[in-house]
């Protein structure tokens, strides 16, 4: 027993520790230091994956530009190496790593889109074509707001597929944006550049927006701007005719540290640049207009909390916004006031056909049989009022997130284009990351005050839901498809016959469209008989409609429908979705 105890005591001394080569210790890469570092490595890996996939997508562009045969595989190789390096270095957030990765992301977006723009012969949106024509008209000494934009048809391939249509059967042929939309590109065109100038400016604006995001976010989050720049939805929309990109850089700067406005020299540029850039953004498109009340109210609340005069600060902020806006638009207002008002306010005043990916989709795709477009606009206004009330009453919580919620307001109206739903995202990220976190006030208000505050928000929201419900139940016409006629072995759709019953108490003149796939209206169809179709109160009519352009039949196994627009009331009515059984399966 004693011998056994002695052996057990001596045994540990006989076991020699494994020898470690110091060179191996120096060359070994330590594992990620905690969850934060692991997450950042994963995020930068996704960035490099975006660079790689951009190269894959650019592969087919060699037919337009032979240099793509070199650039495309180079992007693939660089992306693959970048993913590996992220996991080899000690710190993936080092300045050099960040700059190389972000520069690669800009290249992966900029080069393919520049080639696409250079080789493109037509614009892909009527707004881009209108901006080009408006700048040309201005350079010839004429007022773009009083000139017809009909020449834009030459800049569009199949113009009927791109027009913005009105419910009375026509389409927009005038400038419908503030003057900055074409003024900013006029100097470039004056220098002799004419090919797709609008698209070039939009691409440049998108890349500049990415650079601003990269500079403004904390160093540990710089992978986020790279991912935003690479996002296919943003690239496809804002580098290919999506003119909203032009105001992005200005709106991003406008909300950067916006709560520091008027706080003194210690705030630096943030103390004065916000309203200047907001005025510039508002001079380009109407979308930034929705931000103005929030920012004016916000700086007033910040001034009040800081012991400054809120009325003076808010007035100074709003006055600067208006002054910059007037700098761009006042000459045209003086030139021809009526023409400017009709153009700049057209999206709000002119009844346009339904379009977009918002709530109106329920009607566009035949789920509800139609919708009152005017009531949807009322619902959107009520939702906007509710959001403003929530911003005021729950300011500490809403200060960071209001820009993320604002697209929800634009989800309700009859034109809720996909760009409206994502336009605010880059600015929302900057606002959330750069504003100071306010100290939450204690619960000093009584129960009654809190109830009134909740009612101020819930009331408009409930009203918006109720109005939306009524809107989707108020289609003035009931449509049913009776038949159709095809040619060219069923590949061409020549005519559709539809029965229309007037559910309203007034005579209506419907204007018809046939929705066959796609995400944008492709033009009105004309009745086979001469003259407009007028249907009396409670009456029923059978109408045969024909397309004005060559129209392909739906693909086999897909759905299509007939839509009818009326201007009094401003409404959309649709048939039930129709299943297409002819032709070959695609």
Give the three-state DSSP class for 4: helix
Query: What is the residue extent of each domain of the chain?
Result: 34-119, 129-356, 361-416+445-471, 477-579
Please say if the pLDDT value at position 194 is more than 50.
yes
pLDDT for 442 equals 54
- pLDDT per residue as tens digits for the range 305-317: 999 999 999 999 9
pLDDT for 23 equals 42
Kindly state the tokens that stand for 56: 């894959």
**Nearest Cα to 583, choosing from 461, 458, 489?**
489
What's the rounded mean pLDDT across residues 576-581? 94
pLDDT for 420 equals 92
The whole-chain average pLDDT of the chain stands at 90
Does the pTM surpass 0.85? The reply is: yes
What's the rounded mean pLDDT across residues 479-493? 94
Please say if the pLDDT value at position 239 is more than 80.
no
Four-CA torsion 97, 98, 104, 105, nearest 10 degrees: 150
497 Cβ contact partners less than 8 Å away, ≥ 6 residues apart:
481, 482, 483, 484, 542, 543, 544, 545
Give the three-state DSSP class for 444: coil
Task: Point out the least confidently predicted range of 23-27, 151-155, 557-561.
Answer: 23-27
Q: How confident is the model at residue 30 (pLDDT cuts 50, 70, 90)?
A: low
125 Cβ contact partners less than 8 Å away, ≥ 6 residues apart:
162, 241, 242, 243
Which letter does DSSP use for residue 261 in this model?
T
What's the rounded mean pLDDT across residues 70-80? 96
Tell me the C-alpha distance between 138 and 120, whole Å.
Answer: 24
Largest CA distance in the chain: 119
Please say if the pLDDT value at position 519 is more than 90.
no
pLDDT for 531 equals 84
- pLDDT per residue as tens digits for the range 360-408: 999 999 999 999 999 999 999 999 999 999 999 999 999 999 999 999 9
- pLDDT per residue as tens digits for the range 433-448: 999 987 665 555 557 7
Percent of the chain with pLDDT over 90: 81
* 17 vs 557 pLDDT, higher one: 557
pLDDT for 24 equals 43
- pLDDT per residue as tens digits for the range 197-232: 999 999 999 999 999 999 999 999 999 999 999 999
Kindly state the tokens that stand for 571: 């409404």
Fold for the domain defined by 477-579: Immunoglobulin-like (2.60.40)
pLDDT for 585 equals 53
pLDDT for 455 equals 86
What's the rounded mean pLDDT across residues 404-414? 96
C-alpha to C-alpha distances, 149 to 167, 472, 563, nearest whole angstrom: 19, 34, 27
Give the three-state DSSP class for 542: strand
pLDDT for 22 equals 44
What's the rounded mean pLDDT across residues 40-44? 95
pLDDT for 445 equals 56
pLDDT for 78 equals 97
Please say if the pLDDT value at position 483 is more than 70.
yes
> Beta strands 492-502 and 540-547: pairing type?
antiparallel
C-alpha to C-alpha distances, 469 to 166, 386, 465, 474, nearest whole angstrom: 24, 17, 6, 9
pLDDT for 529 equals 86
pLDDT for 20 equals 45
Please say if the pLDDT value at position 544 is more than 90.
yes
pLDDT for 3 equals 43
State the DSSP string of 98-144: HHHHHHHHHHHHHHHHHHHHHH--SBSSHHHHHHHHHHHHHHTT--T
């Amino acid at each position: 027993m004693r011998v056994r105890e002695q052996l057990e005591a001596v045994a540990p001394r006989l076991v020699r520790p494994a020898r470690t080569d110091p060179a191996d210790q120096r060359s070994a890469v330590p594992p990620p230091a905690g969850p934060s570092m692991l997450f950042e490595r994963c995020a930068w890996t996704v960035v490099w994956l975006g660079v790689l996939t951009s190269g894959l997508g650019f592969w087919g562009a060699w037919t337009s530009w032979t240099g793509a045969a070199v650039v495309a595989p180079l992007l693939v190789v660089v992306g693959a190496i970048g993913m590996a390096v992220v996991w080899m270095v000690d710190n993936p957030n080092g300045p050099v790593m960040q700059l190389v990765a972000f520069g690669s992301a800009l290249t992966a977006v900029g080069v393919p889109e520049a080639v696409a723009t250079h080789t493109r012969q037509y614009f892909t949106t009527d707004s881009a074509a209108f901006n080009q024509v408006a700048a040309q008209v201005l350079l010839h000494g004429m007022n773009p707001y009083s000139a017809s934009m009909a020449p834009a048809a030459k800049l569009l391939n199949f113009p009927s597929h791109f027009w913005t249509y009105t419910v009375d059967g026509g389409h927009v042929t005038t400038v419908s944006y503030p003057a900055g939309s074409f003024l900013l590109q006029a100097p470039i065109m004056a220098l002799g550049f004419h090919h797709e100038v609008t698209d070039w400016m939009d691409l440049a604006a998108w890349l500049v927006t990415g650079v601003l995001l990269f500079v403004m976010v904390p160093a540990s989050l710089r992978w986020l701007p790279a991912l935003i720049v690479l996002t296919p939805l943003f690239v496809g929309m804002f580098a290919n005719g999506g003119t909203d990109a032009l105001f992005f850089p200005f709106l991003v700067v406008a909300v950067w540290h916006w709560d520091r406005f008027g706080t003194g020299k210690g705030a630096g540029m943030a103390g004065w640049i916000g309203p200047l850039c907001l005025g510039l953004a508002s001079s380009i498109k109407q979308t930034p207009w929705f931000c103005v009340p929030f920012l004016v109210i916000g700086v007033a609340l910040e001034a009040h909390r800081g012991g400054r005069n809120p009325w003076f600060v808010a007035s100074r902020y709003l006055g600067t916004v208006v002054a910059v806006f007037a700098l761009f638009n006042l000459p045209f207002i003086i030139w021809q006031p009526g023409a400017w008002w009709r153009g700049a306010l057209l999206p709000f005043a002119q009844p346009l056909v339904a379009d977009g990916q918002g709530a109106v989709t329920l009607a566009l795709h035949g789920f509800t049989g139609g919708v009152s477009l005017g009531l949807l606009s009322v619902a959107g206004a009520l939702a906007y009022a509710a959001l403003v009330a929530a911003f005021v009453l729950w300011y500490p919580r809403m200060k960071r997130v209001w820009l993320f919620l604002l697209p929800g307001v634009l989800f309700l109206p009859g034109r809720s284009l996909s760009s409206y739903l994502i336009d605010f995202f880059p600015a929302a990220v900057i606002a959330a990351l750069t504003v100071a976190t306010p100290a939450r006030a204690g619960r000093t208000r009584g129960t009654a005050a809190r109830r009134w505050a909740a009612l101020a928000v819930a009331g408009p929201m409930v009203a918006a839901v109720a109005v939306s419900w009524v809107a989707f139940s108020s289609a003035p016409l009931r449509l049913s498809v009776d038949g159709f006629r095809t040619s060219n072995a069923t590949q061409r759709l020549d005519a559709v016959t539809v029965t229309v019953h007037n559910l309203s108490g007034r005579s209506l003149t419907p204007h018809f469209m046939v929705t066959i796939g796609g995400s944008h209206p492709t033009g009105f169809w004309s009745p086979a008989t001469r003259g407009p179709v007028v249907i009396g109160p409670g009456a029923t009519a059978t109408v045969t409609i024909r397309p004005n352009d060559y129209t392909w039949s739906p693909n086999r196994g897909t759905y299509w429908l007939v839509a009818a627009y009326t201007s009094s009331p401003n409404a959309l009515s649709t048939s039930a979705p129709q299943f297409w059984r002819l032709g070959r399966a695609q």
